[in-house]
Amino acid sequence: MQREVGTLPLAPALRARLAAAGFQTAQELLDTGPCGLSKEIGISREEALEALQVVRQECLGDATRTAGGAGASRKCTALELLEEEQSQGFIITFCSALDSILGGGVQLTKITEICGAPGVGKTQLCMQLAVDVQIPESFGGVAGEAVFIDTEGSFMVDRVVEIAAACVQHCHLIAEAQQEEEHRKALETFSLENILSHIYYFRCRDYTELLAQVYLLPEFLSEHSKVRLVVIDGIAFPFRHDFEDLSLRTRLLNGLAQQLIIIANDHKSAVVLTNQMTTRIGQSQSTLVPALGESWGHAATVRLILHWDNSQRLATLYKSPSQKESTTAYQITSHGFRDVQPPAVTHSTGGTELNPRKRPRTEEEKQ
Q: How far is CA 122 from the centre of its chain?
A: 15
Closer CB to another protein, 40 or 220, in the complex: 220
**The binder of another protein chosen from 39, 56, 251, 359 (CB under 8 A):** 251
CB of 198 to another protein, least distance (A): 7
231 makes contact with another protein (CB under 8 A) = no
One symbol per residue from 138 to 177: x for binding another protein (CB under 8 A), - otherwise; what is it? ----------x---xxx--xx-xx----------------
Member of 88, 169, 178, 213 binding another protein (CB under 8 A): 213
Instruction: Pick the closer one to another protein by CB: 287 or 326.
Output: 287
* Shortest Å, Cβ 218 to another protein: 10
Do residues 278 and 294 make contact, with C-beta atoms less than 8 angstroms apart?
A: no
- Specify whether the CB–CB gap between 91 and 227 falls below 8 A: no
Contacting another protein within 179-198 (CB under 8 A) = 193, 195-198
- CA 309: distance to chain centroid? 29
CA distances from 186 to 8, 170, 217, 360 (A): 51, 13, 29, 22
**Residues forming beta bridges with residue 90, ordered by sequence position:** 107
3-state secondary structure of 115: strand
| Segment holding 118, helix H or strand E | none
Q: Does 72 contact another protein by CB under 8 A?
A: no
Amino acid (one-letter) located at 141: G
Judge whether 345 and 356 are in contact, CB under 8 Å: yes
Do 98 and 107 touch, CB atoms closer than 8 A? no
Return the number of the residue (188 or 223) whose C-beta is nearest another protein.
223
User: According to the binding rule CB under 8 A, does residue 109 interact with another protein?
Assistant: no
CA-based nearest residue to 239, from 218, 225, 255? 255
Residue 360's contacts (CB-CB under 8 Å, 6 or more residues apart) are 96
* Minimum distance, C-beta of residue 157 to another protein, in the bound complex (Å): 5
Q: Tell me, what amino acid is at 215? A: Y
Q: Which of 56, 203, 298, 347 binds another protein (CB under 8 A)?
A: 203
User: For residue 342, is it left (φ>0), alpha (ψ between -120 and 50) or beta?
Assistant: beta
Given 118, 182, 225, 363, the residue binding another protein (CB under 8 A): 118
State the minimum distance, in angstroms, from the CB of residue 355 to another protein. 21
Considering only residues 282 to 321 of the shown chain, the ones binding another protein according to CB under 8 A are 285-286, 288
Candidates 12-20, 101-109, 173-181, 324-332; binding stretch for another protein (CB under 8 A)? 12-20
- Beta bridge partner(s), residue 327: 316
Smallest gap from Cβ 250 to another protein, in A, equals 12
The CB-of-207 to another protein minimum distance in angstroms stands at 8
> What is the spatial distance between Cα 331 and Cα 340, in angstroms, rounded to a whole number?
6
Window contacting another protein (CB under 8 A); options: 63-71, 87-95, 102-110, 204-212: 204-212
The amino acid at 245 = D
Nearer to another protein, 183 or 313 (CB): 313
Phi/psi for 190 (5° steps) reads -95, 75
CA angle 309-314-316, nearest 5°?
Answer: 120
- Residue of 331, 310, 303, 328 lying closest to 125 (CA atoms): 331
Taking the complex as a whole, how short is the minimal distance between the CB of residue 314 and another protein, in angstroms? 15
Q: Figure out which of the listed residues 178, 259, 278, 323 binds another protein, where binding follows CB under 8 A.
A: 278
CB atoms within 10 A of CB 65: 13
**In the complex, least distance from residue 356 CB atom to another protein, rounded to whole angstroms:** 25
Per CB under 8 A, the list member of 94, 139, 190, 237 interacting with another protein is 237
> Nearer to another protein by C-beta: 30 or 211?
211
Give residues in contact with another protein (CB under 8 A). Answer: 9-14, 54, 117-119, 130, 148, 152-154, 157-158, 160-161, 193, 195-209, 211-213, 215-216, 219-220, 234, 237-238, 240-242, 248, 251-252, 255, 276-279, 281, 285-286, 288
